[in-house]
Structures are given as structure tokens and as C-alpha cells.
Amino acid sequence: MRNIVVNRRARFDYEILETFEAGIVLEGSEVKSIKAGRVSIQDAYADIEDGEVYLYDMHVTPYSHASKFTPDPLRPRKLLLHKYEIKRLYGKIKERGLTLIPLRIYEKHGLIKVELALVKGKKKYEKREQIKRRLIEREIQRALKREKF
């Protein structure tokens, strides 16, 4: 597996409850563009419509050597999940008000996959607490490192 794009901001802004692996339906030149790393999932999110999952606001830069008939860079892309996974996700999203976001896009056995996460948004004070905890842990590690020498 080779990571193509990772949404690092997602782990800071959201509390990740569960992750899923999904295939993605792409058109011709989009595959080459994504494998070249010319994709952004910063503002992307997934939603369920008519029993199918779609990924919105994922920007795929058109491939430079493709023909003039390139797909829209921001078009909704269908995600491939099992029906039972979609039903379970639909229930959780509608009942508890959770969100689906992509954590990373990666290549697995030559195919492009998306790691989706079921998330709950963090409040500002939770983000500040996380930053404080990280700073304290870093200070403890530095102190332990100095004590060893």
C-alpha cells in the first residue's frame, strides 16, 4: 500500500469513531492524475444519496497529457461499499449527526482506495486541551532524554 494523499487536519478537527475502506469510481485520466499525487481531500466529505455513497469536494487536477475531454475536477465521485455497510452508516449519520470524511487516499494492488472515517466534530476547548497534552508529553520526553545522558 502506498499513501497518495493524507488528510492530517482531520485527526485534529474531528474525533474518529470508525474507519472504512472504500473503492472509488474514477474516469480515465483521473487515475493517472491521482497516482501522480495531484489530488486534494482537504475539504472533502461523503454523503449517502439513494442508497449510494458519494464523495464531494475532492479536487482532482486534470491530467496534463489527457485529451480535451477531461471530467470536472470537483464532480461528485461514487464510493464502493457493501450494502450492509451503507445501511449501518446511514443509520449512524442520521441518528447521531455524525459525518463521513476521507482520511487518506492510497493505492492497494494497483487500485485507488479511500479510507473513510465516521467522525464527530471537536469543540474549540477540546482542541486546546489536545494541544496542551501534546506539549506536556513533549516536555516529559525531553526531560527523560536529558536524564539518560
Q: What is the pLDDT of residue 104?
A: 92
Summarize the confidence of residues 85-111 as an average pLDDT.
89
CATH class of the domain whose range is 2-122: mainly beta
Burial of 103 (0-12, 13-18, 19+ CB in 10 A): buried
pLDDT tens for each residue of 13-25: 888 999 999 999 9
Does the pLDDT value for residue 144 go beyond 80?
A: yes
Spatial distance between the Cα atoms of 23 and 89, rounded to a whole number of angstroms: 16
pLDDT, the chain, mean: 88
- For 24, counting Cβ atoms within 10 Å of its Cβ (0-12 exposed, 13-18 middle, 19+ buried), the class is buried
pTM for the model stands at 0.79
Q: Is 52 helix (H, G, I), strand (E, B) or coil?
A: strand
Q: What is the mean pLDDT of residues 14-40?
A: 89
The helix (H) or strand (E) run that includes residue 16 is strand 14-24
Asked whether the predicted pLDDT for residue 65 surpasses 80, the reply is no
Tell whether the model's pLDDT for residue 69 goes beyond 90. Answer: no
pLDDT tens column, 110-142: 899 999 999 988 888 888 988 899 999 999 999
The predicted pLDDT at position 149 comes to: 62
